[in-house]
Amino acid sequence: NISPLSCSGSRSSKTFKPKKNIPEGSHQYELLKHAEATLGSGNLRMAVMLPEGEDLNEWVAVNTVDFFNQINMLYGTITDFCTEESCPVMSAGPKYEYHWADGTNIKKPIKCSAPKYIDYLMTWVQDQLDDETLFPSKIGVPFPKNFMSVAKTILKRLFRVYAHIYHQHFDPVIQLQEEAHLNTSFKHFIFFVQEFNLIDRRELAPLQELIEKLTSKDR
């Protein structure tokens, strides 16, 4: 079962995770459709707000899945440029370097190449999203007490993929004419984490200038 997106070489197909689908007909699917509709209006500040009467955990869950899919797709377009040779460390500019640890399989942070780091990261996120005890897809199944802290860790880590793409691979993004797509996706992400205070400001430092630029027009 090879997806058409993965035929450009074995390595890039490895990092390109399958899309995480929200089951049709479920309440979460309705929420996703609501999110897409409000995004279509072009007002991102409005689009991230919790719809009236909705559960915050569920709203954060639906959007986290959506951001995972978006980042997965964006990174998938530039995997040929992000190699062991071009990116021997996972960085976001000269001042920021990330070492991988997930607390279970790899407890002590390890230094690894960007493609390896992103592969670890996306696999880890996918495992969290697939865990029904963390991200229940069935109606009436409650979210666990630690859901928000798990969601915050996922979003904090997904941010690092944006940061790496912007700092190390922006030229190919422009060549591929993906710039508007990347900016819109990142801006949506930033508005969302700002709205619910999901990522510590210090974590956002590698892209602080860009964040100010992208968000200043919409205050």
For the chain, the average pLDDT equals: 87
Express each pLDDT in 148-203 by its tens digit. Answer: 999 999 999 999 999 999 999 999 999 999 999 999 999 999 999 999 999 999 99
Say if residue 4's pLDDT is above 50: no
Q: Tell me, yes or no, whether 18 lies in a domain.
A: no
Q: Tell me, yes or no, whether 190 lies in a domain.
A: yes
Q: Tell me, yes or no, whether 5 lies in a domain.
A: no
Q: Tell me, yes or no, whether 12 lies in a domain.
A: no
Express each pLDDT in 21-47 by its tens digit. Answer: 877 777 887 888 877 777 766 688 888
Say if residue 15's pLDDT is above 90: no
Query: Hey, is 77 helix, strand or coil?
Result: helix
Q: Tell me, yes or no, whether 51 lies in a domain.
A: yes
Say if residue 124's pLDDT is above 80: yes
Residue 216 has a pLDDT of 83
Express each pLDDT in 192-217 by its tens digit. Answer: 999 999 999 999 999 999 999 988 86
Query: Hey, is 98 helix, strand or coil?
Result: strand
Domain extent for 171: 27-216
State the angle between helix axes of 56-78 and 179-195 in degrees (0 to 180), rounded to the nearest 10. 150
Say if residue 116's pLDDT is above 70: yes
Q: Which residue has the tokens 């995770």?
A: 17
Express each pLDDT in 90-114 by its tens digit. Answer: 999 999 999 999 888 889 999 999 9
Q: Tell me, yes or no, whether 72 lies in a domain.
A: yes
169 annotated as a binding-site residue: yes
Query: Hey, is 90 helix, strand or coil?
Result: strand
Residue 22 has a pLDDT of 79
Say if residue 59's pLDDT is above 50: yes
Judge contact between 165 and 176, C-beta under 8 A: no
Distance, CA of 131 to CA of 99 (rounded, Å)? 24
**Tokens read off for 161:** 């993929």
CATH number at residue 136: 1.20.140.30
Judge contact between 171 and 24, C-beta under 8 A: no
Judge contact between 5 and 16, C-beta under 8 A: yes
Residue 37 has a pLDDT of 75
99 annotated as a binding-site residue: no
Q: Tell me, yes or no, whether 9 lies in a domain.
A: no
State how many domains the chain has. Answer: 1
34 annotated as a binding-site residue: no
Q: Tell me, yes or no, whether 54 lies in a domain.
A: yes
